[in-house]
């Protein structure tokens, strides 16, 4: 079942790179008592994700935070080393938290997985954005197949 507005985000954890090396971040640490924009991409270093999706959130980070957002996070079904390298490549700095859903467990718990095996990518995440307040989904922006509109940073910013 796909998550919907008003639902609590499922429990889980993400791989993150810390100053001390590989670490993890729980959903309660990410979402608890905060307003978070979480956007997901099918894959790090892929064309739309690298040319438009992630860069849009980096560009609009200050404007999004000015709307009362505490954290902007990027999720992908990739390992934390790939997400760290992609964040460095895209110069996200501290504007976007790079989250690895290595086995796709959180993505599947949301009901937003994508079968990308036809592209040799296995199970990945659909392209989407969530606005979450204290663990509860307040906004859900899921792209139609092959689209990049509703989960873009400017579209999410205008919905805040």
Q: Where are the domains of the chain?
A: 13-23+36-139+147-159
Whether residue 87 contacts residue 119, with contact meaning beta carbons closer than 8 Å, is answered with: no
Check residue 76 and give its pLDDT: 96
pLDDT digit string (tens) for 17-76? 999 999 999 999 999 999 999 999 998 898 888 889 999 999 999 999 999 999 999 999
**What is residue 31's three-state secondary structure?**
helix
Check residue 118 and give its pLDDT: 74
Task: Record the tokens describing residue 148, joined without a space.
Answer: 């990049």
Q: Identify whether 49 is a catalytic site residue.
A: yes
**pTM of this structure:** 0.94
Residues with Cβ within 8 Å of 63's Cβ and at least 6 positions away in sequence, in order, are: 157
pLDDT digit string (tens) for 135-154? 999 999 999 988 999 999 99
Whether residue 125 contacts residue 76, with contact meaning beta carbons closer than 8 Å, is answered with: yes
DSSP, res 67: T
Mean pLDDT of the chain: 94
3, 9, 30, 49: the catalytic one is 49
Nearest Cα neighbor of 143 from 155, 135, 134 is: 155
Domain 13-23+36-139+147-159: which CATH number of 3.50.30.10, 1.10.300.10, 3.40.30.10, 3.30.160.270: 3.40.30.10
């Amino acid at each position: 079942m796909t998550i919907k507005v008003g639902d609590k985000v499922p429990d889980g954890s993400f791989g993150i790179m810390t100053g001390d090396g590989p670490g993890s971040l729980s959903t309660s640490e990410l979402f608890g008592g905060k307003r978070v924009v979480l956007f997901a991409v099918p894959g790090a270093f892929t064309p739309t994700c690298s040319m438009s999706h992630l860069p849009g959130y980096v560009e609009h980070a200050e404007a999004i935070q000015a709307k009362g957002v505490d954290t902007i996070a990027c999720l992908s079904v990739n390992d934390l080393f790939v997400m760290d390298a992609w964040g460095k490549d895209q110069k996200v700095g501290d504007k976007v938290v790079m989250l690895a859903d290595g086995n796709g467990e959180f993505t599947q718990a949301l009901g937003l997985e994508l079968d990308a095996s036809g592209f040799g990518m296995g199970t990945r995440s659909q392209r989407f954005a969530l606005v979450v307040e204290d663990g509860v989904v307040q906004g859900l922006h899921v792209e139609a197949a092959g689209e990049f509109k509703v989960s873009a940073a400017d579209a999410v910013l205008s919905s805040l």
